[in-house]
Amino acid sequence: MFPHLKSARVNLQLLQEAACRQLVQQLTLIEGSKVIVLDDAMIGPLGLITKPKLFSDRGIRLLPLKPEIRVPKEIRNIIYILRPQVSLMETLVTQVKANMLNGRQFHLYFVPRLSCLCIKQLENKDVLTAFGRIDELPWNFFPLEYDVVSMEMPHSYREVTIEGDFSCLFQAATGLVQLQRLYGRIPKIYGKGVQAQLVWEKAKQLAIDEKTLYNADRGAIDQLILLDRGIDLMSTLATQLTYEGLIDEFYGIRQNQLSLPGEHFSSYNAADMANDYGTGVQERLLATSDRKLIMLHSGEHLYSELRNRNFNEVRNVLARKVREIQLHMSVSREDQSVQEIKVLVERLPQLMKLKEATSVHTTIAELIDRQIKVDSFGEDLVAEQDYMNCEDIDRPSAYIDDLIARRTDLRTVLRLICMQCAAGSGFKERVLTHYKRELVHVYGLEVLLTLRHLEKAGLIRLQTESRAYAVLRKTLRLTLEGNPEINPTDISYVHSFYAPLTARLVEHSLRPLGWQTLKSQITNLPGPTFEDFQVQLIGIGGRHAAAAGSKGDGYMLHSRRVVLVFIVGGITFAEIAALRFLAAQEDNNVEFLIASTKIINKHTFLDSLMSS
Amino acid sequence: MPIMYNTGEWFKVRPDYYRKFELGTPKWPIDFDLEYMQVVAAPYGGPIAAIRDVTKLVPVKGSFKPMIRIFDTSGHELGHILWNHGKLIAMGWSDTEDLICVLENAKVFVYSMTGTEKESYSIGGEASVIKIVEAKVFQSAAGTGVAVLTTSGRIFLKQNSSKTERKLPDIPNSSVNCSCWEIVTEGRNSNCLLGREREIIKLIHGESVGTVTAHLFEKPHDRIIKISVSYNHQHLALYTNTGLLWLGSVDMRQKYCEFDTGRRDIPLQIEWIMNTHNSDADAVVISYPSYLLIVNRNADKSEFPYDPIMFLVAEMDGVRIITQTTHEMIQRLPKCVENIFAVNSQEPASYLFEAQNKFEEQSYKSDEYLSMCRADIELAVKECIEAAAFEFCPETQKSLMRAACFGKGFIENHNPEEYMNILRILRVLNTLRHDRMAMTLTYKQFSHLTPEIVLKRLVFRNHYAIAIQVAKHLIFPESWILEHWAYNQIMTNTNDVEVARKITEKFKNPSIEGISYCNIAEKAHEAGRDELAIKLLELEPRAEKQVPLLLKMGNYERAVASAAQSGDAELVTSVLLDVKKKVMLSKFHMLIRGYPLALNMYKRIMSQTSRTALYDIYNQEDDHQSIAEINFLTAIENDDLESNLSIIGNSYAQARCTSEADLCGDYARLFKQQKAFSTKHNRASFRGLSIHDTMLELLKMGQIKEVEKMKNEYRVPDRRYWWMRIITMAEKQNWDELDKFSKSKKSPIGYEPFVDVCLKNNNPTEARKYIARLSAKRKIFWFMRANLLNEAIDSAFEQRDREDLVDIQTKVQLTRDQALMDKITNYLAILDARR
């Protein structure tokens, strides 16, 4: 159903199909005409596992969860698919009350887990009896790409650090067990960080019952690297300089979809685009006529070629493509033989597609180019790069002070403060007090609450003795001068010269004895370093299984290792690009499956933490 | 073929062979004499219940109280029931091996086979009012039922305690003279066959009257005195007072034969002998006092004199005979057994068997025999395996299996599945037939019961060790057996510590999957042993299973602890909701404070629902910073920061957040000043403005004095103050003042901001003034930004900065200013030349 998820080793189509099956199974249990009502946070994720055809084939309409929605009288069943959030219940209650009819049934599915709080809320409002089925759809991981799965939980880092709600960690653990059920036991596990360790411990605990998992041969995944977002906050705050990263930061990519004002696209035509890019579920619910929705995933060749490159390289690639197209299109001269024309005609559809894609991406690139030419973008970038290089991190930064004095947007200021803090692995007390004072004096007393959130999240803190970042910058070569942005030789190209710590850790662990050497180097990062092995249980049939296993090992020598990298708390496109870069290096002989709670960028991450 | 093995047990009822062989020797207690007993035995080698037969004269031994005694087939007493309920009419075994006793007053008591009462109910309806004369316990598709015949001649059926009784139609004409009756199950219905005089009356449920069938017999007789229905309810046997036997189908449309036994004594029991190879029956066995008669459809017979009294038990593949000294079985000889052991058998299996024997004797004849069955070796092997399954004697089984093993060596691509399977099952069967287990099952019965049921029966008889071995051997889950064993321990052993120790010892074996301590703990709780339940719960690794029971037991502390330990926030939430309802709030707070996850989840729930509850919990924890924040949030929501500020500040101070407390102080002062300003300048409120914004506002109004006062009061850094000044001046287009200000003293922020504000307010001319004061390098940058390209080119050239020149060049290209282009090209050429 989703060809871009297909891959040889860990085929994520399986995951998508399994999730889809669960939904279909539930739908067939409910008899009669039905509509499905989705909350905003579910619309995108649902599109990742189903196609609208699934619903249209069954005559099911999809509606967003809004209080004013009225469902036509002839519909017998109203099915809600919601995130388990108490705040949604109020809307749900009003909607249920307004749509109550004789002989009509309501059904409620929580993703990924039933919530007793929500149910209690419904009980309090006397609508619980209106529901026929109340169940859960245990979708923890949503496949985004052939090598990326996301839990689509944008606020997980906030929930854990600020609110002390560990549900998402538990869900992550459940998700890991589900992945193993589909793809087999993961024999080796490395990890770093408190949250990461919690996730792993729960996953192990949950897997106690999964004896079959342990009795079976090793699965498709050879190794798991579990990292905590908390060990590398710098990378989340840094401006991403890859094509995909920049698109996300400026315009936001939601579940592989980009929505841009239609005016930028010359030949904009809604119907036309719907055919070309395949419509997702959300388009029907969210699409407004003056916006163009663009699907961004590896299903489109040009994008998969562009996405992970440094933006400076994108221009060149696009220019080359344009030349290529021109070359092919302009050869239609009179002196061509019939055969040559035939070949050209056969290639035409393909060329037209490429032309279309090139035009779309040229437009996007142009939009981004305009954005990064703005003065403040460059100035901020210079400032943040200074921090990355640990320059001037021990006193209040004049640049930040100036920004505050000019009353620049609070988020921009806080981002730079947090970056300075991350670079210094904390502030001296004097510096912190200064910033607090200045921020409160300029932006008002309410900033105190925002600051407290950032403190709880570990983004702003006092210095402790170890200067982890400064040390690791040297030992792990986090900043690297002289790495070209075009045809780079190191992952640091994703931030021009800074390599995300997470990706660097993964890179080091790939080397022989990598994790063992790494262990001693990263003791100054917060949280425990851990490793674990899940060996096959020897029991009945052990002999047979062992024989099969040895055969498997021989096979393993020749093929690539598959490493599941799971960053708890969110991952940036730049990090994904860095990991893909590592996978593309022949020497590493590795394939990654990248998992995270959500794909984040500097804006979404900070916004999530700052909101009250 | 030589005569050997058990052919002596065989007898012929033309044209078929039957065999009667011993299953074991029951060792009845000394005071137990079958002679004077009324006995019912359960099929599948099940238990036997006996009570003194009141119709017989008995030498008095021991107590007078009637007693039902329950034995297994080898004579071990499993239990007894002291009977004090009234007149017992009938007994019978249910398909779940429960003893059903029917009383005269239509009451039914159900006992387990160890003699403990499980339930009692009444047949109900008319039957309870009128006494009942006779009762039958019968098997049907829906399980075991009870049928009673009342004194008024009506028959009622009741399936079990929860179903209502059903009445069968009345007996036509008169109910007197009915001599015998039997329940027949046809499809889903249970009907009744009644014998009255020379006719059979069939009462079909749902019909208003019974149907009468007469003239079944050709020979003269007075009345039918016995009816017997086969095990599968397909065949019917009738017996008259004149000793005539009628065999036919149960619908009486087909008559197999009529047979004159020539006896005048009343038979005790008539049972059909079910075939071993299919579910049909060809012969009946009739027991008389001290005489046993076997008659088949072809009216051929075979007879055995018997000394003591005997009881027949119909099985699905034969009939068992229980006497004081023996336990035997009559069975139609399986074809495969006959093929192998029959005298002069020409069957391949027989040759194979012989070949193997000769092979063991190291005789050359082995090859001869083998060559005689080589063509049909597969059939031979199959029959040997099959025959072994039918045998009861382990020696015979072994030799047959050896023959099969020998034979399968000569088959290419032989699938040993069946061979292995039978070997495995035979081991189990032999174990079950042992005296201690006393479950004399045939292979057919075993397959029909399924291993699960057999295991259950073993467990119910407390043969745990054997059950586990059997389960292992047959590769069946064994955890439930252990669980059952644990229940048994809980019920019988009163020492908590010992029980817990025993259970853990057994359960920690890692090879056992899916064991649940929780189920056992729940049983312990039900048995009122909470201490033990908790001990067991501690061993349960899965919190989501522990928690519900802990809550049920009212052990909230542990429930919270265990939920928190699981890390499952959802579970924690459900526990919190539950516990909060049940305990006092103060106690609840104390309860959760030791568990961070629980505390956090509670805070989170409360932050969404009740801020006062949240306040309470922070207060208890002395978390003043959080208290400050709650107050803060409430104040913001009520838009009343001013009056709450002192409380917030105090809380911050208590939490030792000095800078936060100071800042609150700053704002408290600011609010006062803002009020003063509003009145003084007669201006709408300054409300809601920050210190910075207030100062900006004042600057816009030109109140520089007051701003400077505030600057000192709030210790505003010079940099910010300068920014503030120049931004307002530029915004107000006060270019002269800006110029003056720039010269008032050395700028702490340099002069670039001056350029910046000029440019922001679209005044490049003013900007040029300040660019002049910049360092040479920065000049180029700002000239470019101010779009003063000519100047930029000049300064770049002065600096001999080729790179910047190139940068400017790209920018100039966009403007298409040819003069400037030339200039740059020129300069670049000069710079290049100088190199």
Nearest to A164 by CA among B560, B596, B593: B596
- What's CA B599's distance to the chain center, in Å? 33
What is the average per-residue pLDDT within A425-442? Answer: 91
Indicate the angle between helix axes B543-552 and B569-582, nearest 10 degrees. Answer: 0
Cα B426 versus chain centre, distance? 31
Check CB contact of A163 with chain B, cutoff 8 Å.
Answer: yes
Q: By CB neighbour count within 10 A (0-12 exposed, 13-18 middle, 19+ buried), where does B304 fall?
A: middle
Distance CA B652, CA B667 (A): 14
B187 or B200, which is more confident: B200
Report the distance separating Cα A593 and Cα A185, nearest Å. Answer: 15
With vertex at residue B125, the alpha carbon angle to CA B119 and CA B130, rounded to the nearest 5 degrees, is: 100
Task: Check CB contact under 8 Å for A445 and B569.
Answer: no
What integer is the mean pLDDT of A128-148? 89
Pairwise CA distance, residues B90 & B790, whole Å: 123
Determine the average pLDDT of the residues in A461-483.
85
Cβ(B677)–Cβ(B698) below 8 Å? yes
Distances (CA, A) of B734 to A142, A405, B704, B745, B769: 59, 20, 14, 18, 15
- Is B663 close to A612, i.e. CB distance below 8 A? no
pLDDT at A416: 92
The minimal CB distance from A407 to the residues B596, B659, B692 is found for B692
pLDDT of residue A279: 46
pLDDT at position B401, please?
92
CA-based nearest residue in chain B for residue A399: B749
ipTM for the whole complex: 0.82
Total domains present in chain A: 4
Q: In terms of pTM, does the model score above 0.80?
A: no
Which CATH number belongs to the domain containing residue A365 in this structure?
3.90.830.10
Q: Which of A90, A117, A139 is the last residue of a domain?
A: A139
Whether residue A575 is predicted with pLDDT greater than 50 in this model: the reply is: yes
Question: Is residue A567's pLDDT more than 90?
Answer: yes
Interface of A with B in 580-609 (CB under 8 A): none
Q: What is the predicted pLDDT for the residue at B483? A: 81
Question: Is the predicted pLDDT of residue A551 greater than 80, yes or no?
Answer: no
Is position A126 within any domain? yes
Least confident window among A276-290, B450-464, B811-825: A276-290
Q: Per-residue pLDDT for A273 more than 70?
A: no
Distance (Å) of CA A557 to CA A549, A551, A589, A590 = 13, 11, 10, 12
Which of A405, A433, A445 lies nearest to residue B723, judging by beta carbons? A405
pLDDT value of residue A363? 87
Chain B positions touching A612 (Cβ under 8 A) are 633
Which pLDDT value is given to residue B641?
83
d(CA B767, CA B753): 10
In a domain, A467, yes or no: no
Mean pLDDT of A231-254: 90
pLDDT of res. A553 = 44
Strands B310-315 and B318-323, sheet pairing: antiparallel
pLDDT band, residue B246 (cuts 50/70/90): very high
Instruction: Please tell me the distance from the alpha carbon of residue A229 to that of residue A600, in angstroms, as a whole number.
Output: 11
Does A362 share its domain with A305?
Answer: yes
Beta bridge mates, A226: A191, A566
B/e letters for B718-749, b = 16+ CB within 10 Å, e = fewer, are ebbbbbbbbbbbbeeeebeebeebbeeeebeb
- The answer to whether residues A603 and A611 touch, using CB atoms and an 8 Å cutoff, is no
Secondary structure of A420-453 in HEC code, one letter for each residue: HHHHCCCECHHHHHHHHHHHHHHHCCCHHHHHHH
Residues A363 and A396 in one domain: no
One-letter amino acid of B414 = H
Give, rounded to a whole angstrom, the gap between the first and last alpha carbons of chain A. Answer: 40
Query: In sequence order, which residues have a C-beta less than 8 Å from that of residue B721 and are 6 or more positions away?
Result: B711
Which pLDDT band, with edges at 50, 70 and 90, does B756 fall under?
confident
Distance CA B59, CA A154 (A): 89
Q: Give the model confidence (pLDDT) of B649-693 as tens digits.
A: 888 888 888 888 888 988 988 888 888 888 888 777 788 888 999
CA atoms within 13 A on the CB side of B468: 15
SS (H, E, C) B521-566: HHHHHHCCCHHHHHHHHCCCCCHHHHHHHHHHCCCHHHHHHHHHHH
Which of chain A's residues have a Cβ under 8 Å away from the Cβ of B514?
A: 209, 211
- Once rounded to an integer, what is the mean pLDDT over residues A158-162? 89
| Min Cα–Cα distance to chain B from A62, Å | 29
* Digit-coded pLDDT (tens) for B124-174: 777 778 888 889 998 887 788 899 888 888 888 888 777 888 888 888 776
Q: What is the pLDDT of residue B698?
A: 87
Co-location of A321 and A355 in the same domain: yes
**Which of A95, A113, A139 marks a domain boundary?**
A139
Report yes or no: A314 and A306 within 8 Å, Cβ to Cβ: yes
How confident is the model at residue A435, as a pLDDT? Answer: 93
DSSP, residue by residue, B594-610:
T-HHHHHHHHHHHHHH-
Residues A516 and A605 reside in one and the same domain:
yes
Q: Which residues in B lie closer than 8 A to residue A446 (C-beta atoms)?
A: 636
Interface contact A546, partner B, CB < 8 A? no
* A254/A368 same-domain check: yes
Kindly state whether residue A285 falls inside one of the protein's structural domains.
no
Interchain contact, A113 vs B570, CB within 8 Å: yes
Give the CA angle between residues A242, A49, A172 to the nearest 5°: 75
β pairing state of B310-315 and B327-332: unpaired
Which structure tokens are listed for B119? Answer: 């339930």
The whole-number pLDDT of residue A546 equals: 42
B507 pLDDT above the threshold of 80: no
H helix or E strand, kind and range, residue A245: helix A243-251
Q: Mean pLDDT over residues B516-543, rounded?
A: 79
**Residue A582 and residue A604 share a domain:** yes
Per-residue pLDDT at A597: 93
DSSP string, A460-495: S-B--S--HHHHHHHHTT-B-TT--SSS-SSGGGGB
Residue A169 sits in a domain whose CATH number is: 3.40.50.1910
Q: Which residue of A has its CA nearest to B636?
A: A446
A250-254, B96-100, B564-568 — which is least confidently predicted? B564-568
pLDDT confidence bin for A442, thresholds 50/70/90: very high
CATH number for position A447: 1.25.40.850
User: What pLDDT is recorded for position A548?
Assistant: 42
A145-154, A229-238, A337-346, B731-740: range with lowest mean pLDDT = A337-346
Name the band, by pLDDT with cuts 50, 70 and 90, for residue A288. low
Check residues A264 and B255 and name the one with the higher pLDDT: B255
A395 touches chain B (CB under 8 A): no
pLDDT at A443: 92
**Residues A29, A30, A34, CA angle at the centre, nearest 5°?**
145
Q: Is it the case that residue B61 has pLDDT exceeding 70?
A: no
Amino acid at B469: Q
Is residue B598 very low, low, confident or very high in pLDDT (cuts 50, 70, 90)?
confident
Question: What is the distance in angstroms between the Cα of B599 and the nearest Cα belonging to chain A?
Answer: 9
The per-residue pLDDT for B59 is 64
Write out the residue range of the structural domain in which residue A438 sits: 376-424+427-462
Cα–Cα dist A581/A578, whole Å:
5
| Domain presence at residue A331 | yes
Residue B654's Cα: distance from chain center in Å?
55
Residue A214: pLDDT above 70?
no
- For tokens 């699981």, the residue is B566
Kindly state the average pLDDT of the residues A287-306: 79
What's the alpha-carbon Rg for chain B, to the nearest Å? 51
Instruction: Kindly identify which residue of chain A lies nearest to residue B664, measuring between CA atoms.
Output: A445
Query: What's the whole-number average pLDDT of chain B?
Result: 85
Task: Break chain A down into helix, strand, coil percent, rounded to 5.
Answer: 55, 15, 30
Query: Band of the pLDDT at B569, cuts 50, 70, 90?
Result: confident
Query: Whole-angstrom Cα distance, residue A318 to residue A298?
Result: 17
> Which of the residue ranges A223-227, B577-581, B830-834 has the most confident prediction, judged by mean pLDDT?
A223-227
CB contact under 8 A, B601 and A86: no
Q: Is residue A2 part of a domain?
A: no
Domain shared by A262 and A364, yes or no: yes
pLDDT attached to residue A404: 92
Is the pLDDT confidence value at B714 over 80? yes
pLDDT value for A543: 42
Report the alpha-carbon distance of residue A495 to residue A7 in Å, rounded. Answer: 28
d(CA A498, CA A386): 11
Are A610 and A453 in contact by the 8 Å Cβ rule? The answer is: yes
Question: pLDDT, tens digit, for every residue of B801-815?
Answer: 777 778 788 777 777
At B321 the pLDDT is 92
Mean pLDDT of B584-593: 84
Percentage of chain B surpassing pLDDT 70?
97
**In what helix (H) or strand (E) does residue B202 lie, and over which residues does it extend?**
strand B199-203
Strand ranges of the sheet holding A223-228, from the earlier edge strand across to the other edge: A142-145, A148-150, A590-596, A561-568, A223-228, A188-192, A529-533
- Residue B105: which of B168, B65, B150, B169 has the closest Cα? B150
Residue of A114, A122, A166 to mutate when probing chain B, most B C-beta within 10 A = A166
**Cross-strand bridge partners of residue A148:** A145, A594
Is residue A188 located within the same domain as residue A247? no
Instruction: Give the gap in angstroms from C-alpha A58 to the nearest C-alpha of chain B.
Output: 34
How much is the pLDDT for A325?
83
Look at residue B796 in the predicted model and tell me its pLDDT: 81
What is the model's pLDDT at position B312? 92
Instruction: Find the CB nearest B600 among A165, A440, A441.
Output: A165
pLDDT number for residue B273: 93
Is residue A571 within 8 A of residue A594, CB to CB? The reply is: yes
Asked whether residue A548 is assigned to any structural domain, the reply reads: no
* A105 and A51 part of one domain: yes
Type of residue found at A404: I
Q: What domains are there in chain B, each with its CATH number?
A: 478-541 (no CATH), 622-716 (1.10.150.780)
Question: pLDDT category, B206, cuts 50, 70, 90?
Answer: confident
Q: What is the mean pLDDT of residues A575-589?
A: 88
φ/ψ (deg, to 5) at B308: -80, 180
Residue type for position B811: K
* pLDDT of B332: 92
**Which of B573, B641, B716 is closest, CB to CB, to A117?**
B573
DSSP B793-830: HHHHHHTT-HHHHHHHHHHHHHHT-HHHHHHHHHHHHH
Domain limit, last residue, from A85, A109, A139 = A139
Same domain (yes/no): A260, A367: yes
Encode pLDDT of A17-31 as tens digits. Answer: 889 999 998 888 888
To which residue do tokens 């009468």 refer? B212
Do A227 and A169 share a structural domain?
A: yes
Amino acid at B450: T
B528: left (phi over 0), alpha (psi -120 to 50) or beta: left
Same domain (yes/no): A306, A396: no
Cα–chain-centroid distance for residue B277?
A: 37
Per-residue model confidence (pLDDT) at position A271: 42
What's the whole-number mean pLDDT along residues A210-216?
A: 68
Q: What is the pLDDT of residue B511?
A: 62
pLDDT for residue A541 is more than 70: no
pLDDT digits (tens, 9 = 90+) for B401-428: 999 999 988 988 888 888 999 999 999 9
Number of residues assigned to chain B? 835
Q: Is A547 a domain residue? A: no
pLDDT at B285 over 90: yes
Mean pLDDT over B103-126 rounds to 86
Say whether pLDDT at B92 is over 80: yes
Instruction: Please state, in angstroms and rounded to a whole number, the distance separating the CA atoms of residues B736 and A522.
Output: 58
CA-based nearest residue to B69, from B61, A4, B418: B61
Report the Cα B639 to chain-centroid distance in Å: 56
For chain A, positions 309-338, list CB contacts with chain B under 8 A.
none
> Using CB atoms within 10 A of its CB, is residue B217 exposed (0-12), middle (13-18) or buried (19+)?
middle
Query: Is A211 within 8 Å of chain B by CB?
Result: yes
The C-alpha atoms of residue B215 and residue B199 are separated, in whole angstroms, by: 7
User: In this predicted structure, what is the pLDDT of residue B510?
Assistant: 60
| Domain contains A480 | no
